[in-house]
Amino acid sequence: MTLEHGNVMTADPEARRRFKRSLLHWYRQNRRDLPWHQDQDPYRIWLSEVMLQQTRVAAVTEYYARFLKKFPSLEKLASAREASVLALWSGLGYYRRARMLHKAARIVVREHAGKFPNTAEYLRHLPGIGRYTAAAIASIAFDEPIAVVDGNVERVLQRLLGQSIDGEELWSSAEALLNRQHPGDHNQAMMELGATVCLPRQPLCLHCPVSAWCLTRGEVQSPGTSIRQMKREVRYALSSRKGSVFLVKRGKKVSLMPGFWELPEVSVATPRAKPWLTLRHSITVTNYTVQVIRRRPSPGADGTWVQSSRLSGLPLTGLARKILNAAGLI
Ligand code: SF4
């Protein structure tokens, strides 16, 4: 294929129209069959956008369905206890997202009579809704002509334009290319293109609907920064008796996951007992080797015996959930 239209930013209006049509047509034919892709309900779109922040699509779909089953509407979410919301979020990570979601649902019900604000500007006043999420909800649910920029869109734009642009320049380039008649589908098309075709390592340019307008066809890679992963070893004690398990609750003031339940941690300096289970767990830049030791709680140890039947309704840390699953307790 030859470069028919050159730089799409400086192309004539008809060439830009063809670019937008081509992208939209491709998206409507090829979008993945994801539960939130055909939805215009602001609550559902908001939930999917929040869940997808920092989490892979494959991990989100199951959580999304379970969450909507329990909280099918904004009102149901607003009237729920925070612990129930966190329990359903347990394992998805970045729990601040769930707290903000819950807080924002309460504000929408209390201050907007349950009606979602319908512009990006107003949406940004809600807790946990930043520039990207506000633009995504406003364009997809309310057809507001406003562009989004996420990591996928950033990569597509940089390759299309052959420049390593960032910040406001990215947002204004996305805005300049926006299909103002179909902003929601256009934004989703740009994100979908980045997620499925214009891949970070090996873009599938032969399948790209806009390759005729692309100045790089993937030849220019944006300089990648490799993040050094750290390694840590941790040990936890698993004590169970008569259908109960011994857990500790994190304090309200700790910075990470306050109020969440977990297994008591055992110092790695204590004499090594044969682990009942060894598993790997990663949190951001740290890879943990986790050893689980079966033993009784020491006399006077902080913690509570919790009935196994209550576990699924408790906000558990992702790691605790993993271990309790492996032990067949949930
Ligand atoms: S032609 Fe290749 S590099 Fe350019 S936007 Fe399409 S997939 Fe990305």
223 Cβ contact list (under 8 Å, min separation 6): 164
For ligand 1, the distance from its centroid to the CA atom of residue 198, given in whole angstroms, is: 5
Is the same domain home to 206 and 235?
A: no
Q: Does a structural domain hold residue 224?
A: no
Is the same domain home to 244 and 185?
A: no
Q: How is residue 242 written in tokens?
A: 């008569």
Q: Does a structural domain hold residue 223?
A: no
- Choosing from 156, 179, 213, the residue where a domain stops is 213
- Using an 8 Å Cβ cutoff, are 321 and 304 in contact? no
Confidence of residue 149 (pLDDT cuts 50, 70, 90): very high
Average pLDDT of the segment spanning 146-171: 92
Residue 218 near ligand 1, beta carbon < 6 Å: yes
- Choosing from 158, 181, 213, the residue where a domain stops is 213
Average pLDDT of the segment spanning 109-118: 94
**Structural element, H or E, at residue 177:** helix 167-177
Average pLDDT of the segment spanning 230-238: 87
In the predicted model, is pLDDT for residue 121 greater than 90? yes
Is the same domain home to 151 and 270?
A: no
In one letter, which amino acid is 29? Q
Residue 205 near ligand 1, beta carbon < 6 Å: yes
Residue 189 near ligand 1, beta carbon < 6 Å: no
Cα angle 185, 146, 154 (rounded to 5 degrees) comes to 75
Candidate from 4, 154, 159 with most ligand 1 atoms within 8 A of CB, to mutate: 159
Residue 141 near ligand 1, beta carbon < 6 Å: no
Give the domain extent around 258: 230-326
Q: Does a structural domain hold residue 157?
A: yes
The confidence score (pLDDT) of residue 132 equals 97
**Nearest residue CA, atom 8 of ligand 1?**
198
For ligand 1, the distance from its centroid to the CA atom of residue 141, given in whole angstroms, is: 28
Provide the domain count of the chain.
2
For ligand 1, the distance from its centroid to the CA atom of residue 134, given in whole angstroms, is: 27
Residue 190 near ligand 1, beta carbon < 6 Å: no
Confidence of residue 2 (pLDDT cuts 50, 70, 90): very low
292 Cβ contact list (under 8 Å, min separation 6): 235, 236, 237, 238, 263, 275, 276, 277, 278, 279, 323, 326
Output phi, psi for 73, to 5 deg: -140, 165
Candidate from 201, 217, 220, 222 with most ligand 1 atoms within 8 A of CB, to mutate: 217
Is the same domain home to 55 and 136?
A: yes
The confidence score (pLDDT) of residue 180 equals 97
Atom number, ligand 1, closest to the C-alpha of residue 211: 1
User: Residue by residue, what is the 3-state secondary structure of 73-102?
Assistant: CHHHHHHCCHHHHHHHHCCCCCCHHHHHHH
The confidence score (pLDDT) of residue 164 equals 82
The confidence score (pLDDT) of residue 226 equals 47
8-state DSSP, 208: -
Q: What is the CATH number of the domain that holds 208?
A: 1.10.340.30
Residue 208 near ligand 1, beta carbon < 6 Å: yes
Q: Which of 4, 49, 144, 262 is catalytic?
A: 49
Taking all residues of the chain, what is their mean pLDDT, rounded to a whole number? Answer: 88
Q: Does a structural domain hold residue 5?
A: no
For ligand 1, the distance from its centroid to the CA atom of residue 14, given in whole angstroms, is: 21
Q: Which stretches within the chain are classed as H helix?
A: 13-30, 42-52, 57-70, 74-79, 82-89, 96-111, 120-123, 131-142, 151-161, 167-177, 183-196, 318-326
Atom number, ligand 1, closest to the C-alpha of residue 210: 6
Q: Does a structural domain hold residue 7?
A: no
For ligand 1, the distance from its centroid to the CA atom of residue 56, given in whole angstroms, is: 22
Q: What is the CATH number of the domain that holds 237?
A: 3.90.79.10
Q: Does a structural domain hold residue 72?
A: yes
pLDDT digits (tens, 9 = 90+) for 55-77: 889 889 999 999 999 999 999 99
Is the same domain home to 311 and 175?
A: no
Is the same domain home to 187 and 263?
A: no
Is the same domain home to 176 and 291?
A: no
- Choosing from 188, 213, 238, the residue where a domain stops is 213
49 is catalytic: yes
C-alpha distance across the termini of the chain, in Å: 55
% of the chain exceeding 90 in pLDDT: 61
Work out the number of other CB atoms within 10 angstroms of the CB of residue 110: 10
- Using an 8 Å Cβ cutoff, are 234 and 244 in contact? no
The confidence score (pLDDT) of residue 1 equals 43
Q: Does a structural domain hold residue 2?
A: no
Is the same domain home to 147 and 285?
A: no
For ligand 1, the distance from its centroid to the CA atom of residue 214, given in whole angstroms, is: 6
